[in-house]
Structure 1
Amino acid sequence: MGFPGVWMTESESLVYRVVPKCACSTIGQIMFYSDHGRFFDGDIHDSTDGMHKWAQDHSHDPIERAVRARKGVTFTCVRNPYARILSSFFDKIAGIQRNGRRYRGNLVPQLMQRYGIDVGSPENGFDFDQIASFRRFLLFARDTVRFRKPMEPDIHWSAMSGHISTFIVNGGRYDRIFFTEAFNDGMQKVLDAADNPVEVDLAQVPRFNESEGHGPKRAHKVSDYFDDLSRHLIWEIYKDDFQLFRYDFDDPDNKMPLGEVDLDEVHAKLGR
């Protein structure tokens, strides 16, 4: 099976397991810069050279060798599950993608028909009931994760623990797992531990949020979107994420983790 979702610098100094909606665009650009002294011109997800990616056949052998030999600093980044699923909704369901179209073609019309979701449009200024539509989307996300219907779960709302576990199960081991909410602190520790060809000054790195500006802005605080039923569904989908990565299930408005990640516990629980 190899190491799907893994990106690695050509210098093999950094090995990163991508977790969607967890600052992956910014992390990828930092990795690219640490080898080349410049940022990739465009969305880093579109790069086909200058960095190894498991999705590229020619990258398989270098990534496999580096992971097996424990070369470089191996890391990933996580995010509060409440904020992550909201971000997925506003970007992938309510937003317009970089290509000017809706995400996955007919997905949004299908959700409107099956789940009664309304996401407005650029023509009406994305005027819709955000809370009602999000809660209906959450029901759909739960159905995909639990029952794999009406489709397989999408990478943007499937659990972080699922993404992170594939790397462990296939023989990898993480050196660091840090929080999107304390990004500079966590990323700096990764860079400090790595032998990068080019030094990176994190204070000068822009945030590469490729999804920003293509859809509606969130109009309410996080907790307003989650009633009792919504929180029940969130626990059903993301229980492992809350527990392993120490996020606060009881207070949706507290985006910060309650403690550090225990790497031994993550490897033990996700490596089964």
Structure 2
Amino acid sequence: MGFPGTWMTESESVIYRVVPKCACSTIGQIMYYSDHGAFFDGDIHDADAGLHKWAFDASQPVIEAAVRDHTAYAFTCVRNPYTRVLSSFFDKICGIQRNGKRYRGNLVPLLIQKYGIEVGGPDGKDEFDQIRSFRRFLLFVRDTIRFRKPMDPDIHWSSVSGHVSTFIHNGGSYDHIFWTEAFNDGMQTVLDNIETKHPVVLSDIPRFNESEGHGPKRLHPVEDYFDDLSMHLMYEIYKPDFELFRYDFENPGNKMPLGEIDLAEVHAKLGS
């Protein structure tokens, strides 16, 4: 199975397990900059040179050796399940993607037909009941994750712990896991532990939010989207994410973690 979703700098200074919707565009650009002294011109997910990616055949043995021998500092970044699934809804379901089309072709028509959601019209700009549509989307998310129907879960809403675990299952171990919500502190810890060809000053780094502007603006506070049933579904879907990464299940309005991540616990529970 190897190490899907894993990126490494060409200098082999650092390995990153990508988790969608968790600042991955910014992290990828920082890695690229640390080697080349410039940012990739475009979406870093489209870069086919300048970074090792598991998706490239030539990169796989290099990544595998670095993970196996633990010669590169390994990290990942996680995010509050409430804000992450909301972001997935507005970006991937309501938004028009950078290719000018809907995400995954027939996915949105399927959701409109089977779950009765609205997405703001053909261009996502019409008014619609965001709360009602999001809660119906959450039912769909639960169905994909629990029952793999009407499709397999998508990487943008499958659990963070699921992404994080594949790296451990296949023989990797993390040196650091940090929160999107405390990005600068977490990323600085990574930079402090590696040697970079070009110095990275985090305060000078822009945020590369490649999904920004794809979909309609969220009109309500996070907590308004989650009633009692929605919270029940969230716990059913994302219980390990809340527990392992110390997020506040009881209060959707609190995006900040309640305690420190225990790396030994993460490895023990996700590696079993």
The 5-angstrom pairing of residues 1-272 of structure 1 reads 1-121=1-121, 125-272=125-272
Q: Secondary structure at the match of 1:217?
A: coil
Q: Residues of 1 paired with 2:115 and 2:46: CA distance?
A: 32
Q: Residues of 1 paired with 2:125 and 2:56: CA distance?
A: 39
- The Cα offsets for residues 113-154 of structure 1, whole Å up to 9 and x where unpaired, read as 000011113657231100000000000000000000000000
CA contact (8 A) 1:77 1:179 kept: yes
Q: Secondary structure at the match of 2:162?
A: helix
**Count of residues paired in the alignment:** 272
- The Cα offsets for residues 153-194 of structure 1, whole Å up to 9 and x where unpaired, read as 000000000000000010000000000000001000100101
CA contact (8 A) 1:126 1:215 kept: no
- TM-score normalised per structure 1: 0.99
Q: Residues of 1 paired with 2:220 and 2:126: CA distance?
A: 15
- TM-score normalised per structure 2: 0.99
Cα distance change on mapping 1:86 and 1:123 into 2, 3 Å: closer
Q: Secondary structure at the match of 1:261?
A: coil
Q: Residues of 2 paired with 1:104 and 1:125: CA distance?
A: 19
Report percent identity of matched pairs: 74
Q: Residues of 1 paired with 2:24 and 2:90: CA distance?
A: 17
Cα distance change on mapping 1:111 and 1:122 into 2, 3 Å: closer
Q: Residues of 2 paired with 1:89 and 1:56: CA distance?
A: 29
Q: Which runs of 5+ in 2 are unaligned?
A: none
Q: Secondary structure at the match of 2:15?
A: strand
- The Cα offsets for residues 41-76 of structure 1, whole Å up to 9 and x where unpaired, read as 000000001000001111001000101111121000
Which amino acid letter does the alignment assign opposite residue 164 of structure 1? V
Q: Residues of 2 paired with 1:216 and 1:40: CA distance?
A: 27
Q: Secondary structure at the match of 2:42?
A: coil
CA contact (8 A) 1:122 1:215 kept: no
Q: Which runs of 5+ in 1 are unaligned?
A: none
Q: Secondary structure at the match of 1:177?
A: strand
Which amino acid letter does the alignment assign opposite residue 139 of structure 2? L
Q: Residues of 2 paired with 1:25 and 1:65: CA distance?
A: 25
Q: Secondary structure at the match of 1:237?
A: helix
Runs of at least 4 residues off by over 6 Å: none
Bigger shift: residues 120-129 or 238-247: 120-129
